[in-house]
Amino acid sequence: MAKKGKKYLDALKRFDRDRLHADDEAVALVKTLASKNFDETIDLAVRLGVDPRKADQMVRGTVALPSGTGKDVRVAVFAQGEAATAAREAGADHVGADDLAAEIEGGMLDFDVAIATPDMMPTVGKLGRVLGPRGLMPNPKTGTVTPDVARAVAEFKGGRVEYRTDRYGNVHVPIGKASFDEAALLANLRAVIAELERAKPAAAKGRYIRKVVVSPTMGPGVRIDPSRIGEAD
């Protein structure tokens, strides 16, 4: 286990890591724990009561963060003709077809989201070994395979993020920056939780949202009581 720095250890002394906080309390606290000399990302981690090894319990999709991410999202689009032109006009960072695929095969991975028109999926499918392990493979379930690539580019640039369960049933989503005000972070956090509730698989049994933690990039996590999310409203 990596040795923790002095600032991290000092932050641990400032709160009870085992206490379950209301969501607004946790957001206020986590902002004070971001002590690095850069604008740290605030991450939300949610443990779900699902078995992601079973196809009918995989939780995956996208959610629009009302306050945005605070990050410049780089988007690559696989498209041709009018769709390619529309993607460029919408602000896509990389647009192409076989030429873009060749660049990626050559090691170009300078993007955070990949979007494709349906007709480009045979080309994109050949990149599965490169894009799949990095979570960059376009998928209809996340809105990244779509004929309306311009809209998808605008949404991801504007604050739409993907989420999916990992092998342990955890979902990790960045909900903003430490420089965001508390209301902005809280709105994003609640949007993610509401989306996860909406996406609950019918096959999930027992308690669904089991653990919720927010943390700065380089700091400790603050636990949230799932039953107290949104109670301040």
pLDDT at 233 over 60: no
Distances in Å between the Cα of 92 and the Cα atoms of 22, 46, 96, 156, 176 are 38, 30, 10, 10, 21
pLDDT at 9 over 70: no
Domains and CATH numbers, the chain: 12-69+160-228 (3.30.190.20), 75-158 (3.40.50.790)
Q: What is the pLDDT of residue 137?
A: 95
Distance between alpha carbon 85 and the CA centroid of its chain, in Å?
27
Using DSSP bridges, classify how beta strands 75-78 and 113-116 pair: parallel, antiparallel or unpaired.
parallel
**HSE on the CB side for 83, CA within 13 Å?**
19
Q: What is the pLDDT of residue 54?
A: 92
Q: How many other CB atoms are found less than 10 A from the CB of residue 27? A: 26
pLDDT at 214 over 80: yes
Higher pLDDT, 42 or 141: 42
Mean pLDDT, residues 65-76 taken together: 93
Q: What is the pLDDT of residue 232?
A: 55
Lookup: tokens for 120: 């480009």
pLDDT band (50, 70, 90) for residue 6: low
Distances in Å between the Cα of 209 and the Cα atoms of 162, 216, 225 are 18, 21, 10
Distances in Å between the Cα of 225 and the Cα atoms of 159, 171, 184 are 26, 16, 19
pLDDT band (50, 70, 90) for residue 130: very high
Higher pLDDT, 205 or 183: 183
Q: How many other CB atoms are found less than 10 A from the CB of residue 232? A: 11
Give yes or no for a contact between 165 and 55, defined as CB atoms under 8 angstroms apart. no
Give yes or no for a contact between 36 and 217, defined as CB atoms under 8 angstroms apart. yes
Q: How many other CB atoms are found less than 10 A from the CB of residue 136? A: 20
pLDDT at 226 over 80: yes
pLDDT band (50, 70, 90) for residue 1: very low
Encode pLDDT of 151-160 as tens digits. 999 999 999 9
pLDDT at 177 over 90: yes
DSSP string, 148-206: -HHHHHHHHHHTEEEEE--TTSEEEEEEEETTS-HHHHHHHHHHHHHHHHHT--TT--S
Q: How far apart are CA 21 and CA 82, in angstroms?
A: 50
Q: How many other CB atoms are found less than 10 A from the CB of residue 4? A: 14
Higher pLDDT, 37 or 23: 23
Higher pLDDT, 10 or 55: 55
Mean pLDDT, residues 185-208 taken together: 94
Q: What is the pLDDT of residue 114?
A: 97
pLDDT band (50, 70, 90) for residue 123: very high
